[in-house]
């Protein structure tokens, strides 16, 4: 039972409250990603779990033990820092051994542990190099190795990939995932990159402004965003959002109508935000689709797909379309076809997801 | 030198003129040392008559013989080493932990403590109260007193504190999560990471100890405790005050001038040997010293 | 505090509800009775090590720097060694009245300011000019060697400096008089003539510190954006114009700050070197406040009067330094200290 429970966690600096009561349970062996824009409180939350920030209010439980006043070193957690915090004066082996030495682990035990972990991470040839002589990816591995050697109950990752270039980031992302599958240690991972969140997480926690917006598996969040914030945060490009008014036959967007089933009479006339994922439209009509006229601005080819930047009324929209090796046929697009069952509706004032009927 | 080819004729002339002026200033800086060295190796007669200009006249080692046979010279030399090494170690023992503590954001009253220390750079009680305090503490004529009483200064602490503050927070946090306490964070992480700054401060300490004169002169009475600089001062003033002595020594092949010069050379040589190695640290150090509060 | 809840009776219902809500949210038992003292105790228990590390330094500052400040009160007392600082009777401003009717002290104040003024006038521009010149030297090794040499005198003790000066300016044996002799002048007894003390003192200071002082300005020059020079080259500027139109304006803030510091330190003449170079014959121009304090206090034992002079010096210096610091904050975002 090495789970982590946050129970009404609050962080305030004097009168300024930055985290407003986080409730979250991370199950044993689960990989949970905290994602959100910078300043949303995700790092602060992680640092409170680590014990690097004092918890202003609420309770933190790790493995069934209340940790609010336990020193970081006694929480049995390990952390990978954004800048890795590798000691430049120590070589790779010494960096990984640092924590074990401090804890007075026997020398031969340290050696076997380091060798094992180095093997797993592919660091064996670099053990006596200094961090300055390593590539970005190798440094990142050492930082993880330093966390792994201690066999902690919980891994904490604070934007560990943000210092890497795009290609390496993809590679290390997969490596972290494989490592987690192999070691099965409870992990909490903070990032601002929604792709990282989607690919790594068992469950994603979307945070904004010191609060949790939604918790769920990546696909739950992608398919059923609880509000416009989550809808706009996950997915690339994000979900298109347009002002609309519900009518008895669907939603009126500007001068077009998207046909929807099941608008109740009570909902008729209500102002909503209509959400359409860029990849959910098609260029030709299909079953139960509605045409949405657009004014095409720009076609950005990405290879097999292209992004269509377009306008409808006041809304700037982005859609994805297949290229089939050519983009000429896309330049004349004047409307897209929206399938009714993939349209999301949100309340125009609160931004919360709406369901039709009742 | 690549730039040279792109220079116009006027620029080339300007560069040459400047280089020559720099050369002249450099020679002017160096000349007194050469002159003193030349005097120290000259005969007493030549030195007294003012014949020495650039090279030794009537070359002789008599002046050195006179110095090196003076037991007080060796005692003072030894004392200077004791003050320098002991004093530097003492300084680091105060400054490193002190600067670390002052650099920690979790230290309550940090601003007040920093002000408490920085204030002494702006306001100093002065010679008399300091001297009377040393007397009240029973530290007159005490080697330990000299070592302790000049161990710390605000500037060095602030310099190192600034350096510590610039070390990314995550180094401390990572060590802490690894189970290190403050002493371990300091010795195993901060000190190794701050080698350049600590080297700079060590050198500041060494130089100020090696050169320290005024308070050693005021506070120390016993000859067996005085450092080289005080001995040097005694010798210079004794020699130049005593004409009779000078005449006698001239017959012996040395004079007040050559002996003074020889002691200067003897006390400068260690500085010259170490200087090329420490110079880069001082350049860094003075820039680190662009201190902020 | 803890048993406020039992007191429901007299309290308006809204407050009770708020209390109950707070109690629900705040289940940690330790938090409720927490006062600032237990919080502090908790903090000290966790962070005691840094306080332990700071302790020796704080004690040192108290014993060696703050206790003498307490001892400064003898400036207002009739100090006797036997009665000690605390036991000596107060005499008010008597010592200050004595000081300001003492010609030697007033002369020392005047000399301090005069010497500082000359130091500023001649000693301040020297490192700037040197740095600007170093910046124009192209040959890297030549530049490096020259820099190494001109920094050197900074590391030489004042006793050695004084030894060199005394030897070089010696009336019969010194090189200066040898050269004067070649040029057909009579020998000059430089160190016994009041009119020569200040030029020698200030000149020695330039010789010793100009090189080292240039480091700060060289660093400022190194910080100038190189593309400024490149665009000037493209615009057809020559090196001389670039020096005046780019380098000098770019390092002007540094120059101003250094100037302010120097003005702030006007009371700080390096009295150690004065003691080593002056003699009764040159007191007239050489005696500064600190050397006067040294003779009155440490040599003649008039501690209280000397302490009063020292206090006067320290207070003036403090006001000047604080003013300088305030001014320099306006010129640079990071303050000086």
Q: Report the residue from A57, A69, A71 with minimal CB separation from C26.
A: A57
B200 versus C133: the higher-pLDDT residue is: C133
Distance of alpha carbon B271 from alpha carbon C203, whole angstroms: 23
Phi-psi region of C170 (alpha: psi -120 to 50; beta: other; left: phi over 0): beta
Beta bridge partners of B127: none
Chain A, 53-92: which have a CB under 8 Å from a chain C CB? 57-59, 66, 68-69, 71
What pLDDT score was predicted for residue C36? 79
Percentage with pLDDT > 70 across chain A? 99
pLDDT greater than 60 at residue C22: no
ipTM of the complex: 0.90
Report the gap between the CA of B105 and the closest CA in chain A (Å). Answer: 12
- Using alpha carbons, select from C44, C337, C52 the residue that is nearest to residue B94: C52
Question: Which residues of C are less than 8 Å from B204 in CB distance?
Answer: none
Question: Stretch B242-256: mean pLDDT, rounded?
Answer: 63
More confident residue, A261 or C48: C48
Across the interface, of A21, A68, A71, the residue whose CB is closest to C28 is A68
Question: Which residues is A315 bridged to in the sheet?
Answer: A312
Determine the Cα–Cα distance for residues B29 and B20; give it in Å rounded to an integer: 14
Region of C77 on the Ramachandran plot (φ > 0 left; ψ -120 to 50 alpha; else beta): beta
| Chain A from 35 to 54: CB within 8 A of any B CB | 50-52
> Phi and psi (nearest 5°) for C223?
-85, -5
Distance in angstroms (rounded) separating the CA atoms of residues B133 and C64: 8
**Largest CA-CA distance found in chain B, in angstroms, rounded:** 76
Chain B: closest CA distance from residue A148 (Å)? 11
Instruction: Report yes or no: B167 at the A interface, CB cutoff 8 Å.
Output: no
Closest in C27, C42, C46 to A59, CB measured? C27
CA C208 – CA C214 distance, rounded (Å): 12
Q: Do A81 and B179 touch (CB under 8 A)?
A: no
Distance from C28 to chain B by nearest Cα, in Å? 23
CB B110 within 8 A of CB B259: no
Beta carbons of C171 and B271 less than 8 angstroms apart: no
Q: Regarding beta strands A305-312 and A315-322, do their DSSP bridges make them parallel or antiparallel, or are they unpaired? A: antiparallel
Cα Dmax for chain C: 110
More confident residue, C80 or A60: A60
* pLDDT, tens digit, 9 for 90 and up, residues A181-213: 999 999 999 999 999 999 999 999 999 999 999
Residue C30, pLDDT score: 43
Residues 6+ apart with CB under 8 A from B272: C152
Q: Residue B222: pLDDT above 60?
A: yes
Which three-class secondary structure string do you get for chain B?
A: CHHHHHCCHHHHHHHHHHHHHHHHHHHHHHHHHHHHHHHHCCCHHHHHCCCCCCCCCCCCCHHHHHHHCCHHHHHHHHHHHHHHHHHHHHHHHHHHHHHHHHHCCCCCCHHHHHHHHHHHHHCCCCHHHHHHHHHHCCCCCCHHHHHHHCCCCHHHHHHHHHHHHHCCHHHHHHHHHCCCCHHHHHHHHHHHHCHHHHHHHHHHHHHHHHHCCHHHHHHCCCHHHCCHHHHHHHHHHHHHHCHHHHHHHHHCCCCHHHHHHHHHHHHHHHHHHHHHHHHHHHHHHHHHCCCCC
SS3 at position A316: strand
The pLDDT, as a whole number, for residue C6 is: 34
**Arithmetic mean of pLDDT, C186-210:** 92
Question: CA-based diameter of chain A, in Å?
Answer: 76
Residue C1: predicted pLDDT: 34
What token pair was written down for A285? Answer: 């009509």
pLDDT band at B247 (very low <50, low <70, confident <90, very high): low
| Cβ atoms within 10 Å of C125's Cβ, excluding its own | 14
Determine the pLDDT at residue A149: 92
C211 band by pLDDT with thresholds 50, 70 and 90: very high
Spatial separation of the C-alpha atoms in residues A50 and A343, rounded to whole Å:
41
Distance from CA of A53 to the nearest CA of C (A): 13
Instruction: Verify whether the Cβ–Cβ distance C215 to B15 is below 8 Å.
Output: no
| Closest alpha carbon to A85 in B137, C34, B177, C322 | B177
For β-strands A57-62 and A353-354, DSSP reports them as unpaired
* Rounded-to-integer distance, Cα A196 and Cα B262, Å: 73
Residue in A50, A77, A83 nearest the CB of B168: A83
pLDDT at C114 over 60: yes
**pLDDT over 80 at C337, yes or no:** no
C21: pLDDT strictly greater than 60: no
Angstrom distance (rounded) from CA B45 to CA B51: 9
- Distance from the Cα of A74 to chain B's closest Cα (Å) equals 7
Whole-angstrom CA distances from B220 to B70, B139, B142, B144, C65 are 20, 9, 7, 11, 20
Cα-only R_g, chain A: 24
Residue C32 has pLDDT above 50, yes or no: no
Residue C326: the pLDDT is: 83
Residue A2 pLDDT exceeds 80: no
Q: Which residues of chain C are within 8 Å of residue A21 when distances are taken between CB atoms?
A: 25
Q: Which residues contact B208 (CB under 8 A, 6 or more apart)?
A: B150
Cα–Cα distance for residue pair A149/A97, rounded to 1 Å: 8
Q: Nearest-CA residue of chain A relative to B175?
A: A99
- Which pLDDT value is given to residue C333? 55
Question: Mean pLDDT over residues C65-87, rounded?
Answer: 91
Residue A28 · residue A2 · CB < 8 Å: yes
Strand ranges across the sheet with A250-253: A256-259, A250-253, A240-247, A271-276, A344-347, A353-354
Q: Does A315 touch chain C (CB under 8 A)?
A: no
Position of tokens 């000596």? C88
pLDDT of residue C111: 95
Structure tokens at B72: 């007080």
Cα angle: B148, vertex B150, B152; to 5 degrees: 95
Kindly indicate the confidence band of residue B293, based on its pLDDT and cuts at 50, 70 and 90.
very low
Answer whether B173 sits within 8 Å of A103, measured CB to CB: no
| CA dihedral (A143, A145, A150, A154) positive or negative | positive
pLDDT digits (tens, 9 = 90+) for B33-78: 999 999 999 988 888 888 888 889 888 898 899 889 999 999 999 9
* Contacts (Cβ under 8 Å, ≥6 apart) of B177: A50, A51, A52, A72, A73, A77, A78, A79, A99
pLDDT at residue C12 greater than cutoff 90: no
pLDDT at B249: 57
Domains in chain A: ranges and CATH? 242-354 (2.40.50.140)
Per-residue model confidence (pLDDT) at position C8: 35
Q: What percent of chain C has pLDDT over 90?
A: 54
Could you count the other beta carbons within 10 Å of the beta carbon of residue A102? 18
CA distance B234 to B222: 13
pLDDT of residue C34: 58
CB-CB contact of B257 with C173 (8 Å): yes
Interaxial angle between packed helices C194-222 and C158-168, expressed in degrees from 0 to 180 and rounded to the nearest 10: 130
pLDDT at C9: 37
Neighbours of B21 (CB within 10 A): 15
Average pLDDT over residues C247-267: 87
Q: Which helix (H) or strand (E) holds A113?
A: helix A107-121
Cis omega (within 30 of 0) for bond into A77: no
% of chain B residues with pLDDT over 70 = 91
Calculate the alpha carbon distances from B169 to A44, A82, A83, C49, C191 in Å.
14, 11, 10, 18, 57
Domains of chain B, first to last: 2-69+229-272 (no CATH), 74-219 (1.10.3720.10)
**Chain B contacts of C151, Cβ < 8 Å?**
279, 282-283
- Rounded CA separation B85/B91 (Å): 10
Number of residue pairs across B and C with CB atoms under 8 Å? 296
Of A301-305, B257-261, C33-37, C44-48, the least confident: C33-37
Q: Is the pLDDT of residue C17 over 50?
A: no
Chain C residues in contact with B211 by the CB 8 A cut-off are 155-159
Q: Is A88 on the interface with B (CB under 8 A)?
A: yes
Tell whether the torsion through CA atoms of A74, A79, A82 and A85 is positive or negative: positive
Q: Does C208 touch chain B (CB under 8 A)?
A: no
Instruction: Identify the sign of the CA torsion B92, C337, C63, C54.
Output: negative
DSSP characters over A4-63:
EEEEEEEEEETTEEEEEEEEEEE-TT-EEEEE-STTSSHHHHHHHHHTSS---EEEEEET
Q: How far apart are CA C337 and CA C335, in angstroms?
A: 6
pLDDT in tens, A128-184: 999 999 998 899 999 999 999 989 999 999 999 988 888 899 999 999 999 999 999
Task: Report percent pLDDT > 70 for chain C.
Answer: 88
User: What residues does A274 pair with on adjacent strands?
Assistant: A242, A345
Give residue-wise pLDDT tens across range A324-339: 878 888 888 888 999 9
B/e letters for A158-191, b = 16+ CB within 10 Å, e = fewer, are: bbbbeebeeeebeebbebbeebbeeeebbbbbbb
Mean pLDDT score of chain B: 88
């Amino acid at each position: 039972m090495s789970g982590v429970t946050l129970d009404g966690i609050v962080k305030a600096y004097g009168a300024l409250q930055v985290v407003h009561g986080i409730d979250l349970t991370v199950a044993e062996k689960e990989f949970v990603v905290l994602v959100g824009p910078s300043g949303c409180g995700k790092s602060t939350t992680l640092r409170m779990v680590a014990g690097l920030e004092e918890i202003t209010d609420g309770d933190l439980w790790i493995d069934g033990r209340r940790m609010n006043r336990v020193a970081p070193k006694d929480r049995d957690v390990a952390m990978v820092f954004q800048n890795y915090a590798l000691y430049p004066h120590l070589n790779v082996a010494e960096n990984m051994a640092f924590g074990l030495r401090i804890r007075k682990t026997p020398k031969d035990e340290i050696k076997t542990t380091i060798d094992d972990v180095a093997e797993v991470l592919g660091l064996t040839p670099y053990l006596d190099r200094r961090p300055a002589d390593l590539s970005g990816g190798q440094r990142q591995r050492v930082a993880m190795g330093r966390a792994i050697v201690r066999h902690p109950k919980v891994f904490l990752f604070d934007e560990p990939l943000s210092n890497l270039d795009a290609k390496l980031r993809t590679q290390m992302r997969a490596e972290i995932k494989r490592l987690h599958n192999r070691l099965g240690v409870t992990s909490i991972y903070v990032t601002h990159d929604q792709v990282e969140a989607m690919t790594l997480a068992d469950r994603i926690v979307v945070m904004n402004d010191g609060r949790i917006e939604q918790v769920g598996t990546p696909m739950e969040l992608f398919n059923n965003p609880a509000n416009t914030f989550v809808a706009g945060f996950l997915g690339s490009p994000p979900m298109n959002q347009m002002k609309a008014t519900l009518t008895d036959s669907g939603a009126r967007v500007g001068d077009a109508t998207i046909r929807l089933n099941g608008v109740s009479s009570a909902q008729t006339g209500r102002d909503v935000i209509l959400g359409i994922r860029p990849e959910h439209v098609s260029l030709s009509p299909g079953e139960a689709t509605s045409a949405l006229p657009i004014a095409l601005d720009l076609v950005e080819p990405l290879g097999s797909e292209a992004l269509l930047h377009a306008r409808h009324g006041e809304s700037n929209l982005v859609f994805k379309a297949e290229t089939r090796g050519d983009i000429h046929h896309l330049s004349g697009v004047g409307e897209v076809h929206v399938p009714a069952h993939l349209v999301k509706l949100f309340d125009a004032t609160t931004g919360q997801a709406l369901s039709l009927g009742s | 030198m690549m730039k040279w080819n792109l220079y116009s004729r006027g620029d080339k002339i300007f560069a040459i003129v400047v280089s020559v002026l720099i050369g002249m200033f450099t020679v002017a800086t160096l000349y007194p040392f050469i002159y003193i060295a030349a005097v120290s190796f000259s005969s007493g007669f030549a030195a007294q008559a003012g014949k020495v200009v650039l090279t030794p006249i009537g070359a002789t080692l008599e002046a050195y013989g006179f110095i090196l046979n003076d037991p007080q010279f060796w005692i003072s030399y030894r004392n200077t080493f004791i003050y320098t090494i002991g004093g530097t170690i003492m300084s680091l023992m105060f400054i490193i932990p002190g600067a670390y503590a002052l650099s920690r954001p979790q230290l309550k009253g940090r601003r007040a403590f920093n002000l408490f220390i920085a204030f002494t750079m702006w306001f100093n009680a002065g010679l008399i109260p300091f001297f009377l305090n040393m007397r009240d503490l029973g530290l007159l004529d005490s080697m330990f007193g000299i070592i302790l009483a000049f161990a710390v200064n605000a500037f060095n602490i602030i310099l190192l504190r600034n350096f510590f503050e610039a070390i990314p927070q995550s180094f401390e946090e990572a060590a802490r999560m690894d189970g290190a306490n403050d002493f371990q964070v300091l010795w195993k992480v901060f000190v190794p990471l701050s080698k350049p700054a600590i080297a700079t401060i060590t050198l500041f300490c060494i130089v100020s100890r090696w050169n320290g004169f005024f308070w050693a002169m005021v506070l120390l009475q016993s000859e067996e405790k005085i450092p080289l600089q005080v001995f040097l001062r005694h010798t210079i003033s004794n020699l130049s005050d005593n004409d009779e002595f000078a005449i006698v020594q001239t017959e012996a092949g040395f004079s007040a001038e050559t002996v003074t010069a020889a002691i200067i050379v003897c006390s400068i040589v260690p500085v010259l040997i170490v200087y090329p190695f420490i110079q880069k640290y001082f350049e860094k150090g003075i820039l680190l010293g662009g201190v902020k509060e | 505090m803890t048993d406020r809840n039992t007191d429901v009776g007299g309290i308006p219902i809204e407050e009770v509800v708020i209390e109950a809500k707070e109690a629900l949210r705040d289940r940690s038992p330790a938090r409720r009775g927490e006062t600032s003292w237990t919080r502090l105790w908790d903090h000290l228990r966790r962070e005691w090590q840094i306080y332990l590390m700071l302790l020796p330094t704080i004690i040192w500052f108290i014993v060696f720097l703050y206790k003498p400040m307490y001892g400064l009160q003898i400036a207002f007392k009739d100090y006797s060694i036997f009665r000690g600082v605390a036991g000596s009777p107060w005499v008010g401003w008597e010592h200050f009245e004595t000081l300001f009717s003492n010609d030697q002290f007033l002369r020392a104040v005047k000399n301090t300011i005069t010497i500082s003024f000359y130091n500023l006038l001649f000693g301040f521009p020297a490192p700037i000019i040197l740095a600007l010149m170093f910046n124009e030297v192209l040959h890297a090794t030549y530049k490096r060697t020259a820099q190494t040499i001109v920094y050197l005198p900074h590391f030489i003790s004042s006793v050695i400096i004084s030894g060199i000066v005394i030897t070089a300016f010696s009336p019969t044996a010194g090189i200066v008089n040898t050269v004067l002799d070649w040029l057909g002048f009579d020998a000059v007894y430089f160190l016994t003539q009041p009119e020569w003390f200040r030029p020698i003192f200030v000149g020695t200071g330039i010789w010793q510190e100009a090189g080292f002082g240039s480091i700060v300005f060289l660093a400022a020059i190194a910080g100038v954006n190189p593309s400024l020079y490149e665009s000037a080259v493209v615009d057809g500027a020559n090196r001389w114009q670039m020096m005046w139109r780019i380098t000098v304006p770019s390092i002007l803030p540094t120059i101003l700050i250094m100037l302010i510091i120097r003005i702030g330190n006007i009371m700080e003449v390096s009295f150690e070197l004065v003691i080593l170079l002056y003699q009764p014959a040159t007191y007239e121009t050489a005696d500064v406040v600190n050397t006067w304090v040294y003779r009155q206090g440490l040599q003649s034992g008039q501690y209280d009067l000397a302490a009063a002079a020292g206090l006067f010096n320290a207070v003036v210096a403090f006001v000047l330094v604080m003013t300088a610091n305030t001014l320099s904050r306006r010129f640079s975002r990071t303050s000086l200290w």
